[in-house]
Amino acid sequence: MSQNDNGHKSVVLTDSAAGRSVELPVVQGTLGAPTLNIGKLYKETGYFTFDPGFTATASCQSAVTYIDGDEGVLLYRGYPIEQLAKQSSFLEVAYLLLNGELPNAKQFQAFDHEVTHHTMMHEAFKSFLHGFRHDAHPMAMLCGMIGSLAAFYHDDLDLDDPEQRRMAAIRLIAKVPTIAAACYRHSIGWPVRYPRNNLDYCTRFLHLMFEVPSEPLELNPVAAKALDLLFILHADHEQNASTSTVRLVGSTGANPYACVAAGIAALWGPAHGGANEAVLKMLEEIGDASRVQTAVDRAKDKNDDYRLMGFGHRVYKNFDPRATIIREMTHEVLRELGVNDPLLEVAMKLEEAALKDDYFVERKLYPNVDFYSGIIYKALNIPTEMFTVMFAIARTAGWVAHWLEQQNDPAGRIGRPRQVYTGAASRDYVPMAKR
């Protein structure tokens, strides 16, 4: 491979065996690694590219979020996550992700009012809950419920209409918490609550989760503040598996509710958003700081498929900046709520042991966003099965931001990867009697 003399504007690939070359344009973003546009590679050379897991493949151009995995940098529309965590709110971050700029007071007030006035579910929608067993996993319920939203807005799904696209984004950000809380209450046999418009986004969600008709809910304001910060940290993360799923489904012209339902399904996996639930179960299984080294040894053993959940990341080869913020806030939130959770000690000892171990150091495996978040959710009385639902509530802002960006791209095409075929070559059918 050689670079031509026009200063990185293209790269020449040469297939010396075939005696041919192809000049590939370099696509350089505002930040990040330069990429090779391989659109004409197959046509001019007969080669596909092969990159299982898409470790070095850009699927799209996007202005929403930037990650530098080596430096541990995360920017939402150019704003460092550390600054947004300190100074912003989840709803303001949702506005930023959707619109590309921070809102002024008037814009935020209008956005907040619109989201607040779309939080209710259609009454018929609640009957869906009764179709689920009470012990159904809330992610299973959420995935089904969000996908069925299309049935309630079938006359408002003209994707060529920017206003209908915008409204779908608002509805999803507004309704996912209401539906998520309803799924939880179904699982414990409590009546579904109606959202209260006089509350902020996170306080409203906690009321939807925990308020009972028989007495007023006493909420410590620390809880809503902690939840708001967790939602900011989970709101978006570039082309992760669930966001890439939303984009792939969106590329077929499917409605936004189907796209987000697909994103929820992808997020559920323990290698992705399901890790926060798996971390807590892992910490409970370890049980005590004295058994941490056994867990670390098991995670290193290639004959054991055990992994330290909440550790490692496809992109971050440094500390996940979100994990650093969550670790610090865990101590503060537990102290302010007066919660003493022995699992925090186990988590800290586990992190300390892993970060001193060559296996993790060599592979640049650090705690990720899921490692500490479950300890905070537990302190907020969120049940473990709801942890990934919490992730989905926050990530809905990122999913709809990417969906809108994709839908607004006039050059958008259906996503359709190729493959390396390893099956049988062509052969003739053999009648049953002769097999």
Letters for 283-312 (x = contact with ligand SDX by CB under 6 A, - = none) are ----------------x-------xxxxxx
Q: Of the candidates 150, 169, 365, 404, which one interacts with ligand SDX according to CB under 6 A?
A: 365
The one segment of 136-144, 208-216, 331-339, 366-374 that binds ligand SDX by CB under 6 A? 366-374
**Whether residue 370 lies in the annotated active site:** yes
Order the strands of the 79-80 sheet from edge to edge: 65-68, 73-76, 79-80
Q: How far apart are the C-alpha atoms of 211 and 204, rounded to whole Å?
A: 10
364 near ligand SDX, judged by CB under 6 A: no
Helix (H, G, I), strand (E, B) or coil at 119: coil
- Quote the CA–CA distance of 18 and 134 in Å, as a whole number: 63
Q: Which stretch binds ligand SDX (CB under 6 A): 154-162, 174-182, 344-352, 367-375?
A: 367-375
Sign of CA dihedral 383, 387, 392, 395: positive
d(CA 394, CA 231): 5
Q: Which of 92, 236 has the CB closer to ligand SDX? A: 236
Query: What Rg do the C-alpha atoms of the chain give, in angstroms?
Result: 24
130 is catalytic: no
Scanning residues 237 to 256, which ones bind ligand SDX (CB under 6 A)?
Answer: 237, 240
Q: How far is the CB of 307 from ligand SDX (least distance, A)?
A: 4
How near is the Cβ of 430 to ligand SDX at its closest, in Å? 41
Catalytic residue among 207, 313, 320, 402: 313
Q: Which is nearer to ligand SDX, 31 or 110 (CB)?
A: 31
Q: Which is nearer to ligand SDX, 258 or 365 (CB)?
A: 365
Amino acid residing at 404: L
For residues 376 and 330, is the Cβ–Cβ distance under 8 A? yes
Rounded Cα distance between 341 and 264, Å, is: 29
CB of 59 to ligand SDX, least distance (A): 13
Among candidate residues 422, 90, 88, the one with its CA nearest the CA of residue 232: 90
Vertex 177: Cα angle to 213 and 229 (nearest 5): 110
Residue 313 within binding range of ligand SDX, rule CB under 6 A: yes
Give residues in contact with ligand SDX (CB under 6 A): 53, 237, 240, 271-273, 275, 299, 307-315, 363, 365, 368-370
- Active site members: 313, 370
